[in-house]
Structure 1
Amino acid sequence: MGKENSHNCSLDIRDAQKIDTGTYFFRLDGSVKYSFQKSMLSVLVIALTEVPNIQVTSTLVSGNSTKLLCSVPWACEQGTPPIFSWMSSALTSLGHRTTLSSELNLTPRPQDNGTNLTCQVNLPGTGVTVERTQQLSVIYAPQKMTIRVSWGDDTGTKVLQSGASLQIQEGESLSLVCMADSNPPAVLSWERPTQKPFQLSTPAELQLPRAELEDQGKYICQAQNSQGAQTASVSLSIRSLVQLLGPSCSFEGQGLHCSCSSRAWPAPSLRWRLGEGVLEGNSSNGSFTVKSSSAGQWANSSLILSMEFSSNHRLSCEAWSDNRVQRATILLVSGPKVSQAGKSETSRGTVLGAIWGAGLMALLAVCLCLIFFTVKVLRKKSALKVAATKGNHLAKNPASTINSASITSSNIALGYPMPGSSE
């Protein structure tokens, strides 16, 4: 290229390829033909190492449309126009196009964060294709929150969705770990139903070393970043084992008065058994009266029996909650009182009778009727006492725990006035 009169010349190779490598000289082909071979030009065509440039015009925010520009400023505008191609899993549409650049409109979603975007450029004049890949960083608010839980001696974990319920045993340990998907990472915090201090090993993990009934309620985790906030919750319920306190009984007036209490969660229920019969709720007739009440985790019941009993009659108090049952039984016996261990104890009346008998052996014929009467009266009074108690009240049974498929029972003997006896 060039003109003879301007004393200017140039060499233009469009869409250069390796076959264009060589030595070139300038030659005049006008009225004067001449080749300038003393000043020769060597041209070396090497492989293309340049790649497209990708420019993001603004921060990628989920749901907001953003323009991206792919360009090849190193390409020759006089050559064959390049062909641009975009590849992405995100929602895109093509924008403005120039000879050496292509614009893309992209509307990112949270799932597009960390995915690849590729701009590919084909140079048809040379058959060369180059490309650049860029990883997308999408800003989005917290989402897909879950809570990972572990409790007791279980080394495994369970992932709960927001709004789930969880039940554990009273006294077990509990760990709640809050998890949220967000970019940038969210700041996590916990809210709990009580003002009782709680332990955080990390901002995401709440720990209860020993769960108590007051720890029941809804636990809420909040995740927040610059784009917004979201919460996840789990409702915790604590199950406590059945504890039976009682029964405690005494003879008052013409009847047997007994009381029984139980503690458990869910709240327990109480009922009485007399032999094979069941006495429960609030009921009464001519021979018995039952009064029952409950408050929170406690249930209470009282029983008044105004009837005569046959020998070795059994009276039981039963408490049950969540398929767990505990029972305590009183064995109504006649004669000397019997301790809880089942050993007979000499009544005070018997001892006194023996002393009087020894002192009056010489006067046996005179005082026989008097001794018999005295012993009978004292035995009747002492039989009203309940074994292993002081005064007229039966010792309470210690609470114990049982499996859901079994019943825990304890037996205590209680002496009662013999039918037909008199003061």
Structure 2
Amino acid sequence: MSVTNLYSTGKIGCNAQLTTDVSGVLNGDVIITCKYAESIQTTTLTPKVKVTTEISIVRVAEQHYLQWLHYKHVRKNAQVILDTRIVHRCPPPSRYSSSMGSLHTAQLHIKGLLVSDAGFYFCSTVGNKLKREPDVSQLVIKAVSISETSFLTSPLEANKPTILVLNVIRFYPKKIEVDWQMGKKQLQGNPVLLANPHCDGTFSATSMIAFVPQAGDHDRTIICHITHESAKVRKTLKLRVSYAPLPLTVQPQEDIVKMEGDLLELRCISKSNPISKMSWILNGKVLLAKATTHLRIRVENVSLSDQGNYSCSAENSQGTRTSSVAVNVIGSVQPGATDEHTGLAAGISISVVLLLTIVTSIATYAFVRKRRMAGRQAEEPMYVVPSQPTVDVYETLKVADSQKPSTQKVHDVIYANTEQIRKL
């Protein structure tokens, strides 16, 4: 532990000698020794009267009462803190007391040291003029380590300005520094540091900084680095930030199409502090509600009554968040069903099949006719009409023409095919 010399610039005196440097601890006790042998003058004696001279010196010392004086910087401003004559007559309650250490010294006892006790001390005999300045002792107070640190914070809410407060209790000397950090970065803002003295000379300090917490700051850590002469202290604060539910995650995220009898499964994920009450709602009816971060709904053998708009809701003291997904269910086709949509689809299908059949029949007829015509041209003899045709020639031509299919026959075939398709 380092020693703080608060009064090193003080003046001892023109002829005084600084013989002792005494260190003390706040609220502790200390003893300061003063030599005053030079104030007792003895005459030159013969060896025969040596014992008598020593006894005489003791009596002289007891007859010279002492005064203890204390000053901060300049000796001429010294004040008497203890007069042994007054103590002997009527000792008052005091932190100071004096005792005779030996024939040449006296001791000053100080109990419960205060910061104000730091400075210079010397003693002086009453009624006896010194030939020189007395010896002076300097008392310095050691640095006092920080006894306690604590955070004082109000409940934190996202996007709501607040003030973070750090209290540093009982330290000495006064100079102290506090640095605010979050993670490895300096916390934004201008911190304020106030130091307040105590009666015993120690100090307490309060450091404050403005802060606007965000939802992402929840569970993050703020670190305060405290620098003092006595030690370096690291204090941490884990943030607890209240915030409304963040945008919900619904799975699947797109609208759903299911067939009757299929399995329907929906999930909803919420993040908030405190934990939200989550609900699944279908067409205004609550299907499931629970305080959680993950809510799942499962419907087996889904039916037409299960289709609609499914909404997931998350609510806590900070707010509400909702997300939804549409579910469509397609029913299976039953015999004799009179559903309007089913009938329309069936009618369209039949019309398409009929049209394709007609087109196919016409194409087939054209192809077959073309083949027949090609074959007849190859097999039938050529009819050469003479310049003067006979009656037999005309009869032969009539017979050949009668074997060709007529237009009426083609229409009859197409009509017959159409009737068969309708019966289907």
The higher radius of gyration belongs to 2
Which protein, 1 or 2, shows the higher relative CO under an 8 Å CA cutoff with sep ≥ 6? 2
Decide which structure has greater helix share.
Answer: 2
TM-score (norm 2): 0.46
